[in-house]
Amino acid sequence: MSRLDDYREVTPKGTIDFLERLVEQVKGRKILHINSTKVGGGVAEMLSSDLPLLKDLGVDAQWQVISGTEEFFNVTKSFHNALQGQEQHITQQMLQAYLEVNRENARRLSFDADYVVIHDPQPAALIKSRPAQGKWVWRCHIDISRPQWKVWSFLKQFVVNYDAAVFSLPRFAQRLPIPQFLIFPSIDPLSDKNRDLSPQEQSQILSRLNVPTDKPILLQVSRFDRFKDPLGVIQAYQLVKKHHDVQLVLAGGGATDDPEGETILSEVREAARDDPDIHILLLPPDANLEINALQRAATIVLQKSLREGFGLTVAEAMWKGKPVIGGSAGGITAQLVYGVTGFTVNSVEGAAFRIHHLLDNPEVMTKIGENAKEYVRQNFLITRHLGDWLALMSYLGRAS
C-alpha cells in the first residue's frame, strides 16, 4: 500500500482514485520546485509533504533550494515587506546583491525538468537562465495586492518571462501578460503537525513546554513578524482577561530567511512582562508535534494577521475542530466564512469581542469547529493541492 492510500480515510470519498486517474495525463514528467529555505515557513512545509505524494503518484518531483548570503536574505526580506505594502528603502546595491546571488545559483543548479516552479521573489530572477525546454511557473505565496511600486516593477521584469503565475488569492493578481492561476495552499492531515494525538502524547508535550491546562488557552502560532500582529494579540487578551481567567500562548517559529524575527520577539517579551498567564514559546522549525499539541489544547485559536499570504495555521487549527478568529487579511478570509467556519476581525477590539462571545457560548464554538473541519476537508487538504498542480501541468502541457 502506498503512502497515498493512507489519505483515503481523511479525504472526501473518491479523491485518491480520482488523483490516480488525473495523474495519467502527466505521468513520467519531471517537475522541479525551487525555493529559498528547506526548513521553516509554510512553503518548505508544503513542499516537504507534496513531493513524496507526487512521487507516489508517478511524477518525478524534485526540490532544490537556492543558497544566499546574509545580505541577500536581508534584501529579500525587504522585498517581502515592500511587496506586502510596507515602505522600504531599496538601494541599487541591494538590487545588485539580489541579482548576483541569483546568477550564482543559476550556475550551480540544474533546470532539467518539464516543469520548473519557482517559489516567491527570492529565486525569481533564475528565469533569466531558463533553458529552451520546459514550462516555468512563478508561484507567489505572499500578498502582493498593494506592493511598493519600485520593488514590484523590478520583480515584474522577471515574472513576465514565465509561462504562468500562480497566486493564493484572486486579489493578489497583477497586470501581467501571462496566464495567472489561483491555487490555494494546503495542509497535510497526516503530518506530525496535523495527525491525531493521543491524550497522553498531548499532555506530555504540553508539560514539556510548561503550558498548564488549568485555564482556557488562547493561542496564536506564527512567526514573530509585525504582519502577524503579536502585540495586537496581547492587547486583545488583556481586554478579555478582565472578564475571563484565560491564558495566552504565543508560539513562534523562525525561518532561515527571516532576520527580523529577533527584534519583534523582544518587543513581544516587553509587552508580556509580569503576566504569568502569557507564555511565549520560541519553537524550532521542526516543532511540528508541539504545534499540533498546542492547537489541540487551545480553546480558541487566533491568527490576527494584518497582512497574510494565506495563513495556513488557520486551516491547521480548523482541521482540529477549533474555532478560529483571524485578521481580515489575505487568505484568512477564504478560510473563515464569517459565522460559519470562524470569524474575521479588523481590530484589537473586534478580536477581544469575538473571544468573549465564544467563551460565553461554548455551543457556538462546537458548531463552528465542526463546520471548520469539514470545510478544510473539502478545500484545504494536500490532496486538493496535488490535484491543482497536476491539472496545471496537464493544462500547460496541452498549451505547448
Partner 1 sequence: MMPKIAEHPFLFTGCWELKEMVGRSARDEQQLLEAIEEIPVDSLFYHTHSFFLRHQYIAGPYPNDFATWAAIQVRDRVLGEKLGILDPYDFESLEALRSEIVNIIDEHLSQLQIIPRVVYGEPFHFMQSRIIEVPTGLEARSLTEFRKILAAVDASAVYYHNFEAIFRLVRRKGDFALWIEEQLDLPELGQKISRIDFYMISLESVRHQIIKLCDEVLEKEARR
- Residue placing its CB nearer to partner 1 in the complex, 66 or 390: 390
395 near partner 1, rule: CB under 8 A: yes
Q: Which of 12, 52, 58, 285 binds partner 1 (CB under 8 A)?
A: 12
Shortest separation between residue 213's beta carbon and partner 1, angstroms: 32
27 near partner 1, rule: CB under 8 A: no
Long-range CB contact pairs, 85-88, < 8 A, 24+:
85/143, 85/145, 85/146, 85/147, 85/148, 85/307, 86/148, 86/226, 86/227, 87/148, 88/148, 88/151
- Residue placing its CB nearer to partner 1 in the complex, 179 or 259: 179
- Residue placing its CB nearer to partner 1 in the complex, 88 or 341: 341
User: Which residues lie closer than 8 Å to 300 by C-beta, 6 or more apart?
Assistant: 216, 217, 218, 219, 322, 323, 324, 325, 355, 358, 359, 365
48 near partner 1, rule: CB under 8 A: no
Which of the stretches 46-54, 79-87, 115-123, 382-390 binds partner 1 when contact is defined by CB under 8 A? 382-390
337 near partner 1, rule: CB under 8 A: yes
Which residues on adjacent β-strands are paired with residue 64? 34
Nearest-angstrom CA–CA distance, 56 and 48: 13
Q: What is the DSSP letter of 5?
A: G
14 near partner 1, rule: CB under 8 A: yes
Q: Which of 52, 58, 85, 179 binds partner 1 (CB under 8 A)?
A: 179
Q: Which of 22, 231, 287, 345 binds partner 1 (CB under 8 A)?
A: 22
Q: What is the DSSP letter of 88?
A: -
173 near partner 1, rule: CB under 8 A: yes
Which of the stretches 59-67, 245-253, 295-303, 374-382 binds partner 1 when contact is defined by CB under 8 A? 374-382
176 near partner 1, rule: CB under 8 A: yes
Residue 372, phi-psi category: left (phi > 0), alpha (psi -120 to 50), beta (remainder): alpha
Q: Which of 175, 199, 200, 273 binds partner 1 (CB under 8 A)?
A: 175
353 near partner 1, rule: CB under 8 A: no
Per-residue x/- marks for partner 1, 142-171, CB under 8 A?
-------------------------x--xx
User: Which residues lie closer than 8 Å to 62 by C-beta, 6 or more apart?
Assistant: 30, 31, 32, 33, 51, 113
Nearest-angstrom CA–CA distance, 325 and 206: 22
Q: What is the DSSP letter of 395?
A: H
Residue 313 sits at the vertex; the CA angle it makes with 307 and 319, to the nearest 5 degrees, is 140
340 near partner 1, rule: CB under 8 A: yes
18 near partner 1, rule: CB under 8 A: yes
371 near partner 1, rule: CB under 8 A: yes
Shortest separation between residue 55's beta carbon and partner 1, angstroms: 20
Nearest-angstrom CA–CA distance, 177 and 190: 39
101 CB burial (10 A radius; 0-12, 13-18, 19+): buried
52 near partner 1, rule: CB under 8 A: no
- Residue placing its CB nearer to partner 1 in the complex, 300 or 390: 390
Q: Which of 2, 3, 5, 17 binds partner 1 (CB under 8 A)?
A: 17
Q: Restricting to residues 180-209, which ones interact with partner 1 according to CB under 8 A?
A: 180-183
Task: Decide: 342 and 336 in contact? Cβ < 8 Å.
Answer: yes
Phi, psi of 219 (to 5 degrees): -130, 135
Sign of CA dihedral 123, 127, 131, 136: positive
Q: Give the residues lining the site for partner 1 (CB under 8 A).
A: 12-15, 17-18, 21-22, 25, 167, 170-171, 173, 175-176, 179-183, 333, 337, 340-341, 346, 371, 374-375, 377-379, 387-388, 390-392, 394-395
